[in-house]
Amino acid sequence: MNTKLESMHWGATATMGPATVRGRLLVFGLSMLLAVGLSVDSIAEVPGVYDAFSDFSFVSNPTPDGVWSYGYTLGLQGTLNLYTTKDTEFSLSIWERPGVRDPNVIKNETGAPILVFGEILFPTSDFLHFHPGNGELSVIRWTAPTSGCYGLEASFKSLRIGGQNTTTDVHILTSSVPQAPPIFSGLINSNQDALDFTGAIEVSAGDFVDFVVGMGSNGNPQYDSTGVRAVFTPFGGAQVQIEAVISDVQQLVNQGGLDPGQANALTAKLQAALQKLNQGKVIPGINQLQAFMNQVNALITAGVLTNAQGELLIAAAEAIINRLLIC
């Protein structure tokens, strides 16, 4: 069943598709995971963020690393036709079809905002411009360079600041579940509308995720300048994160917060969790992490650990569990 999502900012509506990407998609709770990752060293991220704006290439399509490509389809499940023509009107970098301006994908690479016709504002960061054609959907495709779990942050908004309203339909699709409905869909019906998506996906190398814009509710491609932001962040493996928590426990020994016996009891549960996960036994591994959390709580109650010390360890273990449940 689809879940309706109301935008917190401007009231635009969007729909989440089935909670599945390669069998597993989490469309809530990622902000908590990322927040813990920022405050607890135990939440590891693999280097290499993939950002549609920063990684844009006007040299080749697909981009030289093969990660991003730009094109159009004749339907949500249609074959991607790559844009083959480049133009630089208004100092903008434009991918398009030969002799046809729409559909397109455009980036402002000048370092200064560009206002076109007094109505369309091309920003200097975050958002690429994409525009549908008369029946063609414009598509920005991300192709997974490696298998793994990625956090995805995406946003869609009108880039028009005056004149006629943008009226487009926007979508996120994945090849991980062939012919499945979009994992996200929404409508932009005014120049103030914006839609956000935050989630996590598990992909195999070569899987792709498409960001798509169509003509919207009025069936007319005019005035449909739409901005899209898409950022993929790979997460480190749970085993790496557990090793980091073991280091945190040892650090507490060095600081005098735990004696060696107490630390050994905690690390034994973490080592057991590692062993289970290395055997592919996720639920038993989670059970060991929960046992670790229970023991930390007992040490807090006994006054051995301060609330702050214990809560950091518990937050790290909870984030690892969430990571295992996500991917």
Domains for the chain: give ranges and CATH numbers: 3-234 (no CATH), 238-326 (1.20.1440)
Least confident stretch, 31-35, 77-81, 154-158, 241-245: 31-35
Instruction: Please name which of 24, 5, 26 lies closest in space to residue 16, comparing C-alpha atoms.
Output: 5
Predicted pLDDT at 24 = 32
Higher pLDDT, 292 or 201: 292
- Among the listed ranges 19-23, 80-84, 296-300, 306-310, which one has the minimum average pLDDT value? 19-23
The residue whose two tokens read 């009891």 is: 265
Give burial (CB, 10 Å; 0-12/13-18/19+) of 4. Answer: exposed
pLDDT of 309 higher than 70: yes
Q: Is the pTM of this model over 0.85?
A: no
If you average pLDDT over every residue of the chain, what do you get?
84
Partners of 130 in the β-ladder: 105, 226
Sorting pLDDT into bands at 50, 70 and 90, what band is 15?
A: low
